[in-house]
Structure 1
Amino acid sequence: MLVTIVSRIYRPEPSAASLFLGAVADELTSRGNRVVVLTARLPKRMETPRYTEVVRTFPVVRDRQGYVRGYIPYLSFDIPLTFRLLFMRRPDVVFMEPPPTTGVVVRVVCALRRIPYVYDAADVWSDAADQATNSTLVIRVLRAMEGFGMRGAARLVTISQGVVTRARALGVSRSIDVTGFGADTSAFAPDPSVPVRRLFVYAGSYSPWHGAEALVDAFGIFAREHPGYTLRFIGNGSEREVIEARAREAGVADAVEFFAAVPAKELLPHLNQAVASLATLRPDTGYDYAFTTKAYSSLAAGCPVIFAGPGPTAPFLREANRHVRAGIACEYNVTQIAIAMAQLADSPLSSDERDAVGRWTAMEHSLAAVAGRVVDSIEAAAARSEGD
């Protein structure tokens, strides 16, 4: 088949979506398919590696942090995408990554050209946006666009049953395959030669629905009995000023660091050095069904996870702890987070335990296995179209 992947972000840009889409492309090509990726031109100073798939880029507007994020950047990708997708050689199937504006473009063009497409519904954007704006008009428009893009797909893939439930609420009756999400075990693995330091790492975006500022409050409590530790944020998000203010209020500003998002190979040493990685999800945001996928990469690196909040991540960690020391799940509560930090600081995982965590994750939750299930869905969508 000829498969087109449409996404505003693609490898080597550091993000979970980039790793995921790259794994899907690798699986597609390993099965003998041809893959063309329509994506955004990389930021300056970032080199484009050579891949088996063909990657076609186009200039886009990026925000101050260098990301394609926000209404204008999305449109700067989606408007040219309309013509790129309309006049390229007709693919057998399209696999697309949101935002919802991209879903609208893909549905319209694919309908005109009679191309089936598969929608990657990793989460529900309109639910997340509900926490970022008070405008009911914006939310209604976004929800309508998101539902429009989803309902036109031949199939959808997602990481959890919670997203299926929300997609059904948007009127989506198409087949939705729960493929899960995993870790790129070719990029993340334990390294016994790297010593563990007095370090906690939060890797990923920190938006209002994450509520990552609670980690700073908890770290302030933890640091009273455990001086000399560092809390490091690696990534980007709209809440950085809030987090910095909370660090000053808690008296730990000198111990809280901010690093830009980095590719997997550069993130790995941070996870190898950390006592634990951190993840949060603020409750009662309408986003309680979300899974914090950063947990997979951390565990693949042998780094235990402290998770605070609702949703499927907590039961996942509890189940993982039946097999290895995967970390601690607690409520979104500052005191409980501080206690979890203290427990892992006072009894850190040994080198053998970290190796066991990495091996278990590679065996049970590899991104390659997930990509295989996604490609099964893509091939099924194309086959159904041929049958029609």
Structure 2
Amino acid sequence: MRVVIASRIYRPEPSAASLFLGSVADAMLADGHEVEVLTARPLPGLGDGSHGERVRTFPVLRDKSGYVRGYVQYMSFDLPLAFRLLFTRRPAAVFVEPPPTTGAVVRVICALRRIPYVYDAADIWSDAAGHATSSGVVVRILRTIERFAMRGATEMVTISQGVIDRTRELGVHSPMTVTGFGADTSVFTYSDDVVERTFIYAGTYTGLHGAEILIEAFAQFTATHPGHRLRFIGNGTGQESMRARATELGIDGAVEFAASVDAADLRPQLARSLASLATLHPDGGYEYAFTSKIYSSLATGCPVIFAGPGPTNLFISEAPRHVPVGVAVQYDASAIAQAMRDVADRPLQPAQRRSIAEWTAATHSMNAVARRVTQVIAGVVRKQRDAT
């Protein structure tokens, strides 16, 4: 079959979505299918992310940090996408990545051309927007667009049952399959690096994530354990206030803010860290979300300290006891600080870190997830052919 992937972001740009979509393309190519990707032109110097699929790019607007993020930026991708999808050679199916505006465009064009599409509902964007803006109008508009995009999908895929439950609450009843999420274990692998006195938070940090609590926790931790470092790798709307708070607490010399890096550059930093950090604000209306970036950390053998509610907390708490994947605590600075002390006082040995990486590769690889997504897409195509 011939499948089109429509997404504003794709490899080689560093992001979880890029890794995921690239893995889906790889899985389809391995099955002998033809894949065409309609995406944004990557930043200069990143190279070509194709592994055999045809990648067709188009220039888009980006924010000051270089991301396609924001309504104007999304529309600079979505409007040309409508014409690109309208005139591309007819595929058997389209696989579309949010934002919902992209999903809405795909629904309209696929309806005109009678093409089934699969929507990747990894999370609920309108819920996230409700935490990021005080405008009820913006949230209502986005909610309407998101429902429209989801309701038109022949099938949806997601990472957890919590997202399915939330979509049903929103009145969306399109068929939905939990395919999970995982690490790109071709990149994130174990190595015998010397572990440094560093904690890493890798990824986006916004009010929804509540990563600012890590500044408070690290200040408490360094009061008893000086000489450690806290490194944020990525981008976030709260960076300036977090920098200011670190200065107020007198720990700015031990807190670093670094730009996003690709997976190959992130892997050794995780491998050398005492633990990675992840947070989810308990009052953001997003408690059902799963913090999927923890898989990349675990695949390198780096344990995770997670603070917050929801399925990530449950996942870490229920992991096999013989695999020391880390600790899940309440969203509380003192609890996080104590978890840091425990890790610093009793760092994992190489054999323990290797066991984490091996367990993650066996049970939570991106390849396995991509295979499940490919099966969903193939099932949609079969149903469409049977119906005609």
Q: CA deviation at 1:49?
A: 3.9
| Structural mapping, 1:236-255, within 5 Å | 236-255=235-254
| Structural mapping, 1:297-336, within 5 Å | 297-336=296-335
1:179 corresponding residue in structure 2 = 179
SS for the counterpart of 1:51 is: coil
Percent identity between the two aligned chains: 59
1:105 corresponding residue in structure 2 = 105
AA partner of residue 13 (structure 2): E
AA partner of residue 72 (structure 1): V
2:360 corresponding residue in structure 1 = 361
Q: CA deviation at 1:50?
A: 3.9
Q: CA deviation at 1:113?
A: 0.2
Output one character per residue of 1:250-309: Cα deviation in whole Å (capped at 9) or x when no partner: 211111111111111100011011000000000021100000011100000000000000
Q: CA deviation at 1:170?
A: 2.3
2:96 corresponding residue in structure 1 = 96
AA partner of residue 22 (structure 1): G
| Structural mapping, 1:1-388, within 5 Å | 1-192=1-192, 194-388=193-387
Q: CA deviation at 1:88?
A: 0.5
Distance in 1 (alpha carbons) for counterparts of 2:49 and 2:7: 17
Q: CA deviation at 1:320?
A: 1.6
Output one character per residue of 1:136-174: Cα deviation in whole Å (capped at 9) or x when no partner: 110000000000000000000000011001111222211
Distance in 1 (alpha carbons) for counterparts of 2:183 and 2:46: 23
AA partner of residue 107 (structure 1): R
SS for the counterpart of 2:205 is: coil
Distance in 2 (alpha carbons) for counterparts of 1:281 and 1:188: 23
Distance in 1 (alpha carbons) for counterparts of 2:91 and 2:258: 40
Output one character per residue of 1:359-379: Cα deviation in whole Å (capped at 9) or x when no partner: 000001111111111111111
SS for the counterpart of 2:132 is: coil
Distance in 1 (alpha carbons) for counterparts of 2:83 and 2:140: 27
Q: CA deviation at 1:239?
A: 1.1
Q: CA RMSD in A?
A: 0.8
Distance in 2 (alpha carbons) for counterparts of 1:15 and 1:251: 32
SS for the counterpart of 2:51 is: coil
Distance in 2 (alpha carbons) for counterparts of 1:361 and 1:224: 34
SS for the counterpart of 2:191 is: coil
The answer to whether the 8 Å contact 1:321/1:327 transfers is no
Q: CA deviation at 1:383?
A: 1.0
Distance in 2 (alpha carbons) for counterparts of 1:344 and 1:321: 18
Distance in 2 (alpha carbons) for counterparts of 1:224 and 1:11: 41
AA partner of residue 234 (structure 2): G
User: What TM-score does the superposition give when structure 2 sets the normalisation length?
Assistant: 0.99
Output one character per residue of 1:22-79: Cα deviation in whole Å (capped at 9) or x when no partner: 1000001111100000000001222114421110000000000000000111000000
Distance in 1 (alpha carbons) for counterparts of 2:7 and 2:113: 19
AA partner of residue 383 (structure 1): R
Output one character per residue of 1:217-260: Cα deviation in whole Å (capped at 9) or x when no partner: 00000001111111000011111112112211221111111111
Distance in 2 (alpha carbons) for counterparts of 1:41 and 1:237: 22
Structure 1: which 4+ aligned runs deviate by more than 6 Å?
none
The answer to whether the 8 Å contact 1:324/1:356 transfers is yes
Q: CA deviation at 1:323?
A: 3.1
Distance in 1 (alpha carbons) for counterparts of 2:54 and 2:104: 24
SS for the counterpart of 2:265 is: helix
Distance in 1 (alpha carbons) for counterparts of 2:326 and 2:256: 22
Q: CA deviation at 1:321?
A: 4.5
Structure 2 stretches of 5 or more lacking a match? Answer: none
Structure 1 stretches of 5 or more lacking a match? Answer: none
The answer to whether the 8 Å contact 1:39/1:58 transfers is yes
AA partner of residue 208 (structure 2): W
Distance in 2 (alpha carbons) for counterparts of 1:262 and 1:329: 26
Q: Judge which range, 49-58 or 294-303, deviates more.
A: 49-58
Q: CA deviation at 1:335?
A: 0.1
Distance in 2 (alpha carbons) for counterparts of 1:338 and 1:273: 20
AA partner of residue 307 (structure 1): F
The answer to whether the 8 Å contact 1:181/1:293 transfers is yes
SS for the counterpart of 2:165 is: helix
